[in-house]
Amino acid sequence: MPLRLLAARLAVLLLFALSAAPAGAGEFTDSAGRIVVLPDHINRVMAADKSAEVLVYVLAPSKLLGWVEPVPGVRLPKTVARLPVLGAIDTPMGAAAAARLRPDVIIDISPVTPERAALADQIQQATGTPYLVLDGSLARIPRMLRVVGLLLDVADRGEDIAGSAEHAINALRGRLLIEPGTGRPRVYYGRGPTGMTTVVPGTRVAESIENAGAINVAAMLDPAQGGIATRQQLLEWNPDVIIAQRESFYRALLHDAAWRGLKAVRDKHVYLEPSMPFGWIDDPPGVNRLIGLYWLSVILYPAEAQDDVRQLAQDLADKFYGIKLTDAQIAAMAKTAGIPESDTPHLADLPLGGTGLAPSATPPGRGGPLPELPTSPTTPSYQMPR
């Protein structure tokens, strides 16, 4: 929706919304550099987008007011299964929900841009609800988990999940340090039913592929095409590995004669991205991507010693979402995702509760300054660690 039209709708909502920030609060500087006044205790959180939805669900599910979209395909815990669908904040449905429900805070983990910051200011002014814009890029996920954990009074939970995030990120980085540059595979990630929508380097959705050290063939895509590839372009790029977001594209790659000339198809390096309960690369580009880092290392570097991704998926689903994935569910997912059997140690044997680093700051006192998240550049970009 155009920003001007949304602003007009928000002006109407202002008639029945709160008009002032809560009293007795602390100041927080968000990733857009905005200073936001927050209440002492946050018990009701509205997610502005799906990445924020997953973050709050993982840290403090009892404080999540509702879903941005329905979560299909898996049985959710009762504490969240009955939550209403509120819509994204940049839709009329979501904006109306923000005014009607009067949450303690709105959390937004969309890419940090001037436009998103302006939207946050407009909604905050219209509803009287503190609105935080946070940088959820992959490298900043551990820091974000710790800070939001402090804000939501679940610091121990935030520290624990942050430790898991650091392990996932650092394990992949360590593997790439010993992987020769000549061994980096060329990858195409096909989104949507036809797979002809893809991701270009430097975007939030492309981060997982870039962190895995793969060469994104969509780098050759003309920016004017807006991330839309053609069948002919994919045939010319001829990637080593193709990852399909949707089953329809995955099945087409396996059964459509037009794709048989692709190297990835001939070599049987075509994989369906797992999505229980959220995507492992995308949908959304949030903390749900952490298990995807282990998975990408398995399918991109199969010759190396690998983690037991099947067990990791079960353990992380339980740890993050409170979901018990059955062996049958894991086996069905592994079949299309290319996940092999493994005898490596289970997640319970890994240092998930911390990383051996200095402990994070203690929770702030009432009314005191709250921790800041580093501000993001106007146009977010991701660079591989050196």
DSSP 306-329: ---HHHHHHHHIIIII-----HHH
Amino acid letter, residue 101: L
User: Rounded to the nearest 5 degrees, what angle is found at the Cα of 73, between the Cα atoms of 69 and 78?
Assistant: 75
pLDDT in the model for residue 79:
83
Which stretches of the chain score pLDDT less than 70? 1-25, 73, 174-182, 305-306, 342-386
3-state DSSP call for residue 13?
helix
Peptide bond into 284 cis (omega under 30): yes
Looking at residue 18, its pLDDT comes to 32
Residue 66 has a pLDDT of 96
Distance (Å, whole) CA 198 – CA 229: 7
What residues pair up with 26 in beta bridges, in sequence order? 38
pLDDT for position 176 = 65
CA distance to 130, 139, 151, 159, 250, per residue, from 155 (Å): 20, 20, 8, 6, 41
Angle among Cα 159, 165, 167 to the nearest 5 degrees reads: 105
Q: Are 309 and 298 in contact (CB under 8 A)?
A: yes
- Residue 354: predicted pLDDT: 43
Summarised one tens digit per residue, pLDDT across range 169-209 is: 987 776 665 566 667 899 999 999 999 999 988 888 889 99
pLDDT digits (tens, 9 = 90+) for 242-296: 999 999 999 999 999 999 999 999 999 999 999 988 999 999 999 999 999 999 9
Residue 178 is predicted with a pLDDT of 54
Question: What separation in angstroms does the CA of 261 have from each of 189, 205, 241, 264?
Answer: 18, 27, 13, 9
pLDDT computed for residue 12 by the predictor: 36
Single-letter code of the amino acid located at 104:
D
Which residues are bridge partners to 243 per DSSP?
A: 189, 271
- Helix or strand run (H / E) with residue 190: strand 186-190
Question: Hey, what domains does the chain have and what are their CATH numbers?
Answer: 9-153 (3.40.50.1980), 180-349 (3.40.50.1980)
pLDDT, tens only, 91-105 = 999 999 999 999 999
| Residue the block writes with tokens 């492992």 | 280
Which amino acid makes up residue 172? L
Q: What is the DSSP letter of 87?
A: -
The pLDDT value recorded for residue 321 is 95
pLDDT of the residue at 24: 37
Nearest C-alpha neighbor of 88 from the set 136, 51, 43, 39: 51
pLDDT at 310: 93
Measure the CA–CA gap between 19 and 99, rounded to whole angstroms: 10
DSSP string, 10-34: HHHHGGGS--SPPSS-EEEE-TTS-
Report pLDDT for 368.
Answer: 44
pLDDT of residue 187: 96
User: What is the Cα–Cα distance from 106 to 95, expressed in whole angstroms?
Assistant: 11
pLDDT at position 179 is 61
